[in-house]
């Protein structure tokens, strides 16, 4: 892609910083816009290591955007921001960091999206492919921006990326040789006007696929409209003629007239949701001809990721789990469904616009619900008729109350149903804070 000399980067998170370094290395004149003021941005700006730029800090103004023919937005920036819409109307191209990076790629791309399970599945696929092929890149929304891979100038055998709906909004040429859609449930309704709009964004992962490509989709979701890729389903609910499914403690992969069997207990990852994640990974491995021994070894060794129903400790017969990555209601519901025992649930944070009433279906598993953060009053109003709820001001108060009410055999579970940005830097910061408090009990 031919790049103009003057480029604006909007949002200086991890992808914004990576984009700035890449574009500076190409000799481009860059500008940076961020809604935070310059003083608040000082620690982040220091990480640019002296790269020159024009800065626009504080509330976004259209006049600052209009002088740039190319605007690169971070995933957290709403692509329908008024200043971006005006710039787009005047002819500016608005793309994301991943789209920018993709235009410099030749390697096959495997892209994983979905409301829940993206990071676990992306990481597991990465582990399988590393065992099989050695050098692969694993990144994207998982934490290492794709533009960093381009910046390093190395060539991997495969590029495996987690991709969010926000990143998919700004794709123009991105094409996944294999696109995986794990699931879609209500999420990010603080950004999208409806569930259908969110769903449309997710399905963009299948755009521009060809007859040579694969669309791997959870059983029950419809195939991409006008899609050209070969559709392969996976799921744990029923037997499939082709694709991947679970039955009687066995994981089946049926592909091109062959069938491969794996014991479910080969993987230590618990729950039906992880069964689905594993099926997607196994199906992808066999699409690329990876042998069963290699796949089995990777599956056996992969222990899961931090902040995903992670056992922190057991104290006086009470087990404490950290599921801070559960940033939506469906993720928390899945965690509750797969935990055996009486649960003291710590939840709350920044509301994302959906309903919490789905938790009513598993309310019988919740002994006490402790809520914190901006969303606590909304959670109380929607779930107060189903469970006993305590309100606390912060994580310290929530952990203290959980310890006071917990009895031997109970489970204390941090599974917030909300994003973390009202009180923490991100879900990792929230989970680490909880872990430290639990470990100090």
Dihedral (Cα; 288, 289, 290, 293), 10-degree rounding: 150
Within a domain: residue 35? yes
Domain end: 34, 68, 96, which one? Answer: 96
The CA distance from 400 to 144, in Å, is 35
Alpha helices in 159-203 (DSSP H): 165-169, 195-203
Residues 321-378: pLDDT tens digits? 999 999 999 999 999 998 989 999 999 999 998 899 999 999 999 999 999 999 999 9
Q: How many CB atoms lie within 10 A of CB 378?
A: 15
296 lies in the same domain as 320: no
354 lies in the same domain as 294: no
Predicted structure pTM score: 0.89
Residues 27-56: pLDDT tens digits? 999 999 999 998 888 888 888 988 999 999
Would you list the DSSP string of 208-260? T--TTSEEEEETTSPPPTT--SEEEEEESSS--SSEEEEETTEEEEEETTEEE
Query: Structural domain tally of the chain?
Result: 3
Within a domain: residue 195? yes
Give residue 44's domain range. Answer: 6-96
Residues 63-87: pLDDT tens digits? 999 999 999 999 888 888 999 999 9
321 lies in the same domain as 229: no
262 lies in the same domain as 342: no
Alpha helices in 26-68 (DSSP H): 38-46, 62-65
Residue 188 is predicted with a pLDDT of 61
Domain end: 74, 96, 118, which one? Answer: 96
Within a domain: residue 352? yes
314 lies in the same domain as 422: yes
Percent of the chain with pLDDT over 90: 84
User: Among 18-22, 165-169, 231-235, 253-257, whose mean pLDDT is lowest?
Assistant: 165-169
125 lies in the same domain as 223: yes
Within a domain: residue 1? no
């Amino acid at each position: 892609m031919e790049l103009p000399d003057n480029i604006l980067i909007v949002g200086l998170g991890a992808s914004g910083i990576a984009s700035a370094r890449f574009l500076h290395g190409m000799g481009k004149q860059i500008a940076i816009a961020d809604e935070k003021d310059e003083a608040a941005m000082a620690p982040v700006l220091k990480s640019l290591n002296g790269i020159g730029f024009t800065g626009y800090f504080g509330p976004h103004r259209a006049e600052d955007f209009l002088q740039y023919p190319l605007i690169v937005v971070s995933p957290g920036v709403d692509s329908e921001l008024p200043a971006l819409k005006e710039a787009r109307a005047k002819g500016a191209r608005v793309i994301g960091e991943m789209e920018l990076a993709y235009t410099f790629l030749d390697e096959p791309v495997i892209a994983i999206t979905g409301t829940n399970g993206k990071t676990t599945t992306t990481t597991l696929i990465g582990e399988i492919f590393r065992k099989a092929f050695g050098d692969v890149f694993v990144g994207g929304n998982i934490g290492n921006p794709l533009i960093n891979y381009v910046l390093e100038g190395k060539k991997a055998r495969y590029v495996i990326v987690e991709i969010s709906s926000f990143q998919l909004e700004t794709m123009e040429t991105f094409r996944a040789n294999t696109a995986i859609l794990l699931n879609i449930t209500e999420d990010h309704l603080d950004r999208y006007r409806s569930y259908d709009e969110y769903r449309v964004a997710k399905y963009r992962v299948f755009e521009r696929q060809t007859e040579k490509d694969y669309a791997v989709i959870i059983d029950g979701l419809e195939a991409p409209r006008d899609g050209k890729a070969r559709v392969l389903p996976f799921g744990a609910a029923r037997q499939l003629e082709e694709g991947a499914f679970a039955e009687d403690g066995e994981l089946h992969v049926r592909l091109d007239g062959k069938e491969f069997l794996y014991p479910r207990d080969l993987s230590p990852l618990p729950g039906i949701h992880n069964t689905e994640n594993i099926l997607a990974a196994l199906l992808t491995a066999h699409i690329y001809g990876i042998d069963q021994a290699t796949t089995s070894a990777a599956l056996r060794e992969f222990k899961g990721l931090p902040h995903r129903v992670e056992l922190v400790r057991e104290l006086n017969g009470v087990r404490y789990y950290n599921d801070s990555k559960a940033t939506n209601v469906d993720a928390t519901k899945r965690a509750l469904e797969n935990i055996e025992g009486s649960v003291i649930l710590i939840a709350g944070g920044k509301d994302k616009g959906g309903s919490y009433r789905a938790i009513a279906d598993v309310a019988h598993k919740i002994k006490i619900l402790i809520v914190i953060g901006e969303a606590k009053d909304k959670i109380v109003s929607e779930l107060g008729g189903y469970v006993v709820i305590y309100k606390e001001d912060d994580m310290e108060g929530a952990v203290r109350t959980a310890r006071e009410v917990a009895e031997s055999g109970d489970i204390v579970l941090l599974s917030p149903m909300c994003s973390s940005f009202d009180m923490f830097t991100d879900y990792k910061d929230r989970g680490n804070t909880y872990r430290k408090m639990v470990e100090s009990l």
